[in-house]
């Protein structure tokens, strides 16, 4: 039995999701739902503990750090950071050109690095360089970071819509992770 394009178009989003889940090959040797849940819980706990530990550390730094500090290896720090940023942007460009899924994390990493670069350029610049740092941040680094971070998010939402994982009005932050066994008996957010 084969479905016509008209029959597929007539399916509801829930029926399409069910059809996709039934037709999708299940990878052999993948982790069980129990393992996925256990890993997710431990990683979430680890991230939460790191965030909680960062609160007193940030307060401590705010109270104890001097307002002025002469840094060692200043040139190596900035040149090294720019090399990392260059490598990340190059990997993103190559992955985008070749249409590889790795473009998602490399683009987000590149965007975050650009935001960090703008932040530290502005906050560590001398008065004579402040205007250049502000213009660079406002006209180059921040807009490019928004494109690099926002682009993959839009593509992931498009993929989720295309493959029936969500309904059209679903916002990105409500998209479920695509683990079919976890969502087979659960209502997908709309």
Residue pLDDT, tens place only, 141-182: 999 999 999 998 888 877 777 766 666 677 777 766 666 555
SS3 per residue for the chain: CCCCHHHHHHCCHHHHHHHHHHHCCCCCCCCCHHHHHHHHHHHHHHHHHHHHHHHHHHHHHHHHCCCCCCCCCHHHHHHHHHHHHHHHHHHHHHHHHCCCCCHHHHHHHHHHHHHHHHHHHHHHCCHHHHHHHHHHHHHHHHHHHHHHHHHHHHHHHHHHHHCCCCCCCCCHHHCCCCCHHHHCCCCCCC
Question: What are 81-131's pLDDT values in tens digits?
Answer: 999 999 999 999 999 999 998 999 999 999 999 999 999 999 999 999 999
Q: Please report the pLDDT score of residue 157 as a whole number.
A: 78
């Amino acid at each position: 039995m084969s479905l016509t394009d008209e029959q597929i178009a007539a399916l509801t989003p829930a029926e399409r999701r069910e059809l996709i889940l039934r037709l999708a090959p299940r990878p052999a040797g993948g982790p069980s739902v129990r393992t996925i849940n256990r890993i997710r819980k431990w990683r979430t706990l680890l991230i939460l503990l790191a965030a909680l530990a960062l609160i007193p550390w940030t307060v401590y730094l705010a109270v104890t750090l001097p307002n002025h500090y002469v840094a060692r290896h200043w040139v190596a720090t900035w040149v090294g950071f720019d090399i990392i940023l260059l490598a990340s942007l190059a990997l993103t460009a190559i992955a985008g050109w070749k249409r590889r899924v790795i473009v998602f994390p490399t683009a987000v990493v590149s965007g975050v690095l650009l935001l960090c670069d703008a932040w530290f350029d502005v906050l560590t610049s001398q008065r004579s360089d402040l205007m250049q740092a502000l213009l660079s941040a406002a006209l180059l680094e921040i807009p490019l970071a928004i494109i690099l971070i926002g682009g993959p998010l839009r593509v992931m939402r498009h993929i989720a819509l295309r493959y029936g994982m969500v309904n059209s009005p679903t916002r990105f932050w409500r998209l479920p992770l695509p683990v079919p066994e976890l969502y087979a008996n659960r209502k997908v957010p709309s």
